[in-house]
Amino acid sequence: MFSIVLNIIGTLFHFYVAQRVSRTGLVPSRVRPGAWWLAVVLLWVIYLAGVHIANASSGWRWVLGQFSLNWLGILFVMSLCLLAADIATGFGLWWRGHAARVRGAAAIAGMALSAFAIYQSVRAPVVVPYEVAMKNLPPELDGMTLAMVSDLHLGTQRGADWMAARVAQINALQPAAVLMVGDQVDRDPLGDPRLATVLRGLEARRGVWAVTGNHEFYGDAETTVSEFAEGGVRWLRNRRVELAPGLVLAGIEDVGRAMHGGGDNAGEITGDLAQLLPAAPAQAQATILLSHIPAAPLIDMAAARGVGLMLSGHTHGGQIWPFSYLVRQRFPQLVGQHAIEGMNLIISRGAGSWGPRMRLWQPGEIVKITLRTLPTPR
């Protein structure tokens, strides 16, 4: 079904862009209309073929699949720019003498923005720092540094070598713990024997911890969990641990399936969290919760049950503008740090990307969190 949708949307974008570009003056005059449209159709056939093998992991199938995903992203950006030009010129009904030049400028802008978006995704993630004042945090833990990374999407676009570079970035932060907040893989287990060695290179005296994301369950989740466990990653699948004296780290299984199956059924979404965290803890303690999807019912329950810091990913910050406006309709806290009823919420836009290897406007990120003790009221 998903590939059918991509076929339809991609086809509409493809022929719209081809038709508008053909009327910009950018196509050399020596290129006859028949040759232009033959090339357009051949490229469309290649795109359709690539959509069906987009998850291929190697060889020419990988190249073709990745071309199709990125071509779809480029077509989307180009269509936005050309549509803006068409609206400005009334689809050629006014400014007749300038319409072709306006469309040409829009096409060039679309190509430039596409190139920038690809650069933003291919470049190394940036480090984004946050300071978090946590209730009930013991004074001796003031200044503790954590590294948070989400949405790595290891797989067809990113492998063990890319992850090794991320390990170096994380180690440079000298974190006490590394927290991996879901979608470690794009779909299937990575299947690269080097991954375990790379992950064992993470340096964090209080461990490397992970929760599942929705993409783990698109493939063989249990094999993915085993692959990361071989690299020293400890999974929090509806369990909690004492990260340090007075500081609890809890993690829940991804709730994506409950959201798709039950829509907005709050009971199904929060069931695991309700069992993991007591409604009235026996004693006040600082608690960090890892949940890949920042679903509203989870946020509300976590705040009500005394969680001091909740960490999530999933939204990608919208990844390609203007999808951020659509994603915000589902997840009002789209990205960044938020205060929710006395709880800190941090949502990462992720280190990797999904689908087209493009990001417009922000690059991927690794989050550095410095914990602070709340001042004692006088």
Q: Which residues are CB-neighbours of 31 under 8 A, at least 6 positions away?
A: none
Q: What is the pLDDT of residues 28-87, one digit of tens each?
A: 778 888 899 999 999 999 999 888 776 666 667 878 888 999 999 999 999 999 999 999
Q: Which residues are CB-neighbours of 344 under 8 A, at least 6 positions away?
A: 132, 133, 134, 308, 309, 310, 337, 338
Predicted pLDDT at 376: 62
Which structure tokens are listed for 192? 């690269």
DSSP state of 269: H
Q: What is the pLDDT of residues 273-307, one digit of tens each?
A: 999 998 766 567 899 999 999 999 999 999 999 99
Predicted pLDDT at 264: 54
Predicted pLDDT at 3: 65
Predicted pLDDT at 131: 97
Predicted pLDDT at 26: 81
Q: Which residues of the chain have pLDDT under 70?
A: 1-3, 54-59, 261-265, 280-283, 376-378
Predicted pLDDT at 282: 57
Residue 119 gets the label, from left (phi > 0), alpha (psi -120 to 50) or beta, of: alpha
pTM tops 0.95, yes or no: no
